[in-house]
Structure 1
């Protein structure tokens, strides 16, 4: 069976999660007196930005308008800090080009807002590789609910079971498992032992230069 590829964005395509953590720390602790440790910030920053704020401070603490403003400010801080370092993870450009040449359907399924996805795709000029994009703005329930990846598969016109998801975070792997998809884990922010509860992992890789990725092209040769 031929595969389709679905990529998470942050930490999976670009190694930027430290910059997100720093921006969240500034918002949560510096502005909102959340008093979280760096490890607690790292553990809580998954899903939609509004969900992060509600997990940390409780529902009803902020109005939707306040959360929207905090979300945009956090992303502006992240983009300003990360822009000088913006680049794809090693080997990814070549991997995307090869998949594109083999006409493997590819999508992005991310909990990032469109504002951040555009920041990466357009500044790195890689939008052409992706036939579908699903962002936090496109779903009602964010990761680990499977809607993000299921919608991406639907937009590609492929069965969920035929999708390989590239992820860097445990909650993302859980999302793929909930969607009936297998995963390749990029260890930019998390160690393999943090994923031991999941049964849908094909490989752990440091970056996309890993020669084991070649096996995903065999059915296209």
Structure 2
């Protein structure tokens, strides 16, 4: 990890793959719908590469902008989230060490927020299912932004809700597009290696370090 020259006032967390290790279940849900229902004949790895942004953005990237009506995209989105929650619910858990990390940050009065491309339905599923809402000072979901990651809007809005400057925030992310979003927002980033390999992040100058979970000793430098 780079030497930190400041102590952050806020931690901003992506959700999927960052607070919980669930991206496999999102990919499996989309892979099932795209192949079994929509006949796309796509490999698992091909679908995995599209796992960022809002649901309608995923559908438009894969099938084109004029393939589905808004009503069809809404139906497919709801179907996908129901499949995801049914598949992941038996495994719902915070990434190892995050419970202690959240408690330590709260005791030190570091503000915390979620900045995610997930819809509120899924954020509530996680936050309330794991009883962590009391740690959070703000939540920015897919419904709260016009343009999702890698645009900076998600993390900029989270910082605004916390009333802190972007340079006083540290973002926790698991995906290159999320790291790019943090970089565009002027924020440093810690990367969870739950979803992507380290070499996929080599183009981003804002990364402080890579961790496998929140027990990593390098995180002590943030407090």
Same fold (TM over 0.5): yes
1:112 matched to 2:114? no
Instruction: Write the distance in 2 (CA, Å) between the matches of 1:33 and 1:165.
Output: 37
1:81 matched to 2:94? no
Partner residue in 1 for 2:37: 31
1:212 matched to 2:218? yes
Deviations 1:146-177 (A, max 9, x none): 00000000000000111100000011001101
Partner residue in 1 for 2:138: 132
Instruction: Write the distance in 1 (CA, Å) between the matches of 2:106 and 2:130.
Output: 16
What TM-score results when the alignment is normalised by the length of structure 1?
A: 0.97
Match of residue 156, structure 1, among 151, 157, 162: 162
Instruction: Write the distance in 1 (CA, Å) between the matches of 2:182 and 2:86.
Output: 31
Partner residue in 1 for 2:48: 42
Secondary structure in 2 matching 1:76 = helix
CA drift of 1:135 comes to 0.3
1:179 matched to 2:185? yes
Instruction: Write the distance in 1 (CA, Å) between the matches of 2:57 and 2:81.
Output: 15
Partner residue in 1 for 2:61: 55
CA drift of 1:61 comes to 0.8
1:68 matched to 2:74? yes
How many residues are matched? 217
Instruction: Write the distance in 2 (CA, Å) between the matches of 1:2 and 1:72.
Output: 40
1:143 matched to 2:149? yes
Instruction: Write the distance in 1 (CA, Å) between the matches of 2:49 and 2:70.
Output: 23
1:91 matched to 2:97? yes
Instruction: Write the distance in 1 (CA, Å) between the matches of 2:35 and 2:187.
Output: 36
How well do the aligned residues superpose, as a CA RMSD in angstroms?
0.7
1:103 matched to 2:109? yes
Runs of 4+ in 1 over 3 A off after TM superposition: none
CA drift of 1:2 comes to 3.9
Give ranges in structure 2 of 5+ residues lacking alignment: 1-5
CA drift of 1:36 comes to 1.4
What TM-score results when the alignment is normalised by the length of structure 2?
A: 0.96
